[in-house]
Amino acid sequence: MIDDRSLDTLFRNARTHNGWQPRPVSDDQLRAIYDLMKWGPTSANSSPARIVFVRTREGKERLRPALSAGNTEKTMSAPVTAIVAYDTRFYEHLPRLFPHNQAAPSWFSGPQNKAVAETTAFRNGSLQGAYLIIAARTLGLDVGAMSGFDNAKVDEAFFPDRRFRSNFLCNIGYGDPTKLFDRSPRLSFEEACALA
């Protein structure tokens, strides 16, 4: 069981941040995020997420043309922007990642499995994106994830061989609480869940 204050940090009081304090995030902190998120479960341990942590001026300028107007300033000013992507050929790593069954790559490889490979990469790469968000919060960092950007432009700038595909972006840093929006409501249990 996790203590009540930690539940506030991870979920109840955690917010999507739009402004950032001028306080850096170190590469060691980014490694610590990955060293937690990597343990989150994925289908057949497929681990399809690939992350580019953009934290230099040059890297941010490569990202800029892909950002929507409303996301540009907060992303350019964030200490780090993670490009959460996935490997379309994640299954090539399965002989090592899923040693229980050496036939696992054949579930996903080849043109006849293209749809299931794509669905698996997108679903599990998204799960891992959520693990990244939570892992950053466990380390005292704030995040602001977004889909408001041009995926094709990001892919062209960062993944020119087209093997990796961008999923979403996630700013990482120490949030400026004065830049928060009011918190939006959530669906009730009765609206979102059913018991059977």
Site for its own copies in 16-55 (CB under 8 A): 16, 27, 30-31, 34-41, 43, 45, 47, 49-55
* Closer residue to its own copies (CB): 35 or 73: 35
Residues 98-157 that bind its own copies (CB under 8 A): 98-100, 120, 122-124, 126-131, 133-135, 137-140, 143, 145-147
Which of 21, 76, 89, 93 touches its own copies by CB under 8 A?
93
What burial letters (b/e) apply to 154-182, b meaning 16+ CB within 10 Å?
bbebbbeeeebbbbbbbbbbbbbeeeeee
Which of 12, 64, 114, 179 touches its own copies by CB under 8 A?
12
The CA distances from residue 114 to 81, 95, 110, 117, in Å, are: 30, 19, 7, 5
Shortest Cβ 96–its own copies spacing (Å) = 6
Shortest Cβ 124–its own copies spacing (Å) = 8
Strand partners, 171: 81, 144
Contact 68, 149 (CB under 8 A): yes
Contact string (CB under 8 A) for its own copies, positions 146-185, x = contact: xx----------x--------xx------------x--xx
Which of 111, 161, 162, 186 touches its own copies by CB under 8 A?
186
Largest CA-CA distance found in the chain, in angstroms, rounded: 53
Residues 52-91 that bind its own copies (CB under 8 A): 52-56, 58-59, 62
Shortest Cβ 178–its own copies spacing (Å) = 17
Distance separating alpha carbons of residues 106 and 95, to the nearest angstrom: 10
Distance separating alpha carbons of residues 176 and 110, to the nearest angstrom: 47
Shortest Cβ 111–its own copies spacing (Å) = 21
* Closer residue to its own copies (CB): 30 or 66: 30
| Other beta carbons less than 10 A from residue 132's beta carbon | 24
Distance separating alpha carbons of residues 37 and 47, to the nearest angstrom: 10
Shortest Cβ 182–its own copies spacing (Å) = 8
Pairing of β 164-173 and β 80-87: antiparallel
- Give the count of residues interacting with its own copies (CB under 8 A): 77
